[in-house]
Structure 1
């Protein structure tokens, strides 16, 4: 406890220096360590659930319920970040994180005890689970923006993305092992325990932060919140980098749909084998995220975006050529190249999009993450609905055409041109 107390005091001291706008390059690792539950529980709640969809459908005698649960989770992922982002600057990042973890743990516990006649309650608790988890997600993005500047800010977001990328590709493998020998309730019992642990973790390691955007007493809170969101959206720099981040995030989320449909649905790969194959993409995303700051230092942001989109186009071309070979590497090999492009783009975008919002960090971060993850999921769902995701020819065209459209936008865009490295 003495060491933990010392860490807390040290972080409190660091937090006080934020108001002086000094980059705390030496504490990037500690920031991510203290905030680890904030950006891992929300995606974990979605991805560890995937191997259990068949069991859940059978339990409620409704094959459509699991897909509804996923849609509800993604919907409140976006709604939650908009809500929490709007109040993070007035209530404080640690406060909303604590509230969110309590909601996540409580709803996970409630789900673990639902009866087979309580399908509506199941969906409601899933919505609450996502809503709570999104508070932590918003908080960590805002905390990083408040603490760091310049290259340190870019490195912090890159490392966060590297760790974050490991969750959606490793959680399904963990979930597959759990449900292989246990009922699906066990997954939510595990998440409930993790929620409780996270509450203690955050309470001990995350320092308190002061509100930076107090609500004006002469106008309604909703009106004040609306003005802050409009202020963020009016920023051309924010909109520009949000567009490129949304492009990369949509394509990466689409990968999470394509991979199981092609590998398990078309090729008949087992759940465990699928998870092992997909771990290759996880490693690529992690390595790429940790190397991204070094790559970013070697070229301008415009060149970096062009390189990222070019890799996605190249990967889609290889996939198109290999689409007639119905083997696992026909998907994984080109996806390694595509994932590299998405990684570089996702790692470099947050620092640039949020560069002008130190005071409104919570509002800007909430809008950024809600758009990239929420709208990204909707775009991915649209791709899934419109094309056959087990046909790699069509999948390759989605990736190639989307990246080419973004390249055209980059060529016409004037905001990115003046940016330095």
Structure 2
């Protein structure tokens, strides 16, 4: 098996510039959420300006998720072959172009198209930031760093809609996308301070076509499949939560939009707290054990949620409490599943990161879509989808990820 230990020089880079690297990687990871959270308050204004229905404007979110999910599969092998910094820079340029295109769009179709371009660029930052963590850190330290990044990243959806609303108060909705252009350009400048984390000697020089074909080989590694399932099914439940709670809280339980924002923010705070706890305890208990415990806890919370949603037991609090417990489990599941998968095939960190990200966002699309398809006027479809996804996440973690050692067969490298 190829040596999975990063070279001494890489460790020196990580130790000498922890704060700077953490700041830049946090900026890169935040692109997953700021691209959407910032313009959510502007959707009604955009609908009026572009003469589009509310449903048509929701396709700007769906199109973004599709581009974000599939785009990762392309960036992973490219980064394993050419290094991390150049693909991230290209992705940021695409993000800037896509954001500018959104700002000048005159039709819903143009907006959706530019959102897809924006997503393909943004996903390069996210998928390669995860790969950079694996380049610089191993084992429990990688899980700690991933948890720290997730904690910082959670701030974006917490403040994003508020910042977007503030911009909308002083300018038009187009100014939000011009703001994203500025964020992309600022991140591109900051990238100059980030060292290349994948040395030439550790790059994969096989043809990209063969590298893309290795996704199937990665999925035949039992542990990769387990980590992908644990994180992927959990993401499906999270997106069911995002799609279902506005209706469940506001329409069904007659909660004001302001109080809905408070309850949603409480979930974000729960995610931040568990990520901090995970970073503290991962060296003591091990990342796999914390992940398995998180998935079991999430599954139990999901079952309680489904019962409450079906019977209306506990009313609003009967929904909120299990939902809060469920989303708070994010801190023990997402970071550890990503770090674990990356440790299975370190010589393919870019491809593994891309595969895990694509699966997560793919199941996210499925989870949110199922809530819509099964809608019956009650919170039950949301509770049902979250419970089933939670059980599948726990089953993946318990049956496919066993022990703390990473003994996986190496993928074939080009001669």
Specify the TM-score bucket, using the shorter chain as the normaliser.
Answer: 0.7 to 0.9
How far apart are 1:128 and its partner, in Å?
Answer: 0.8
- The residue number in structure 1 matching 2:326 is 338
**2 CA distance for matches of 1:362 and 1:402?**
26
**1 CA distance for matches of 2:376 and 2:167?**
27
Query: Any conservation in 1 of the 2:274–2:330 contact (CA below 8 Å)?
Result: no
Q: State whether structure 2 residue 23 is matched by structure 1 residue 33.
A: yes
**2 CA distance for matches of 1:327 and 1:26?**
52
Give the TM-score taking structure 2 as reference length. Answer: 0.85
Q: Deviations over 1:290-344 (max 9, x none)?
A: 1113343444556434422332233235435654378654433222211122321
**1 CA distance for matches of 2:316 and 2:173?**
28
Query: Any conservation in 1 of the 2:39–2:161 contact (CA below 8 Å)?
Result: yes
Query: Any conservation in 1 of the 2:227–2:397 contact (CA below 8 Å)?
Result: no
Q: 1:359 to 1:385 in 2, by over 3 A?
A: same
- The residue number in structure 1 matching 2:103 is 112
Q: State whether structure 2 residue 137 is matched by structure 1 residue 148.
A: yes
Give the TM-score taking structure 1 as reference length. Answer: 0.84
- The residue number in structure 2 matching 1:400 is 387
**2 CA distance for matches of 1:25 and 1:348?**
21
Of the three residues 60, 67, 71, the one matched with 1:76 is 67
Query: Any conservation in 2 of the 1:169–1:281 contact (CA below 8 Å)?
Result: no
- The residue number in structure 1 matching 2:299 is 313
**2 CA distance for matches of 1:268 and 1:68?**
26
- The residue number in structure 2 matching 1:122 is 111
Structure 2 unmatched runs, 5+ = 1-5, 407-415
Q: State whether structure 2 residue 234 is matched by structure 1 residue 244.
A: no
Secondary structure of 1:359's aligned partner: helix
CA RMSD of aligned residues (A): 2.8
**2 CA distance for matches of 1:370 and 1:18?**
31
Structure 1 unmatched runs, 5+ = 1-14
- The residue number in structure 2 matching 1:9 is none
How far apart are 1:93 and its partner, in Å?
Answer: 0.7
Counterparts of 1:16-415 in structure 2, within 5 Å, are 17=8, 24=14, 28-63=18-53, 64-115=55-106, 118-203=107-192, 205-209=193-197, 210-211=199-200, 212-216=202-206, 221-299=207-285, 303-320=289-306, 322-323=308-309, 324=312, 329-373=317-361, 375-388=362-375, 391-410=378-397, 413=399, 415=401
How far apart are 1:160 and its partner, in Å?
Answer: 1.7
Q: 1:147 to 1:302 in 2, by over 3 A?
A: closer
**2 CA distance for matches of 1:410 and 1:136?**
27
Q: 1:179 to 1:265 in 2, by over 3 A?
A: farther
Equivalenced residue count is: 396
Q: Deviations over 1:331-374 (max 9, x none)?
A: 3322221112232111211121111322221111111112112x
Query: Any conservation in 2 of the 1:176–1:272 contact (CA below 8 Å)?
Result: no
Query: Any conservation in 2 of the 1:101–1:195 contact (CA below 8 Å)?
Result: yes
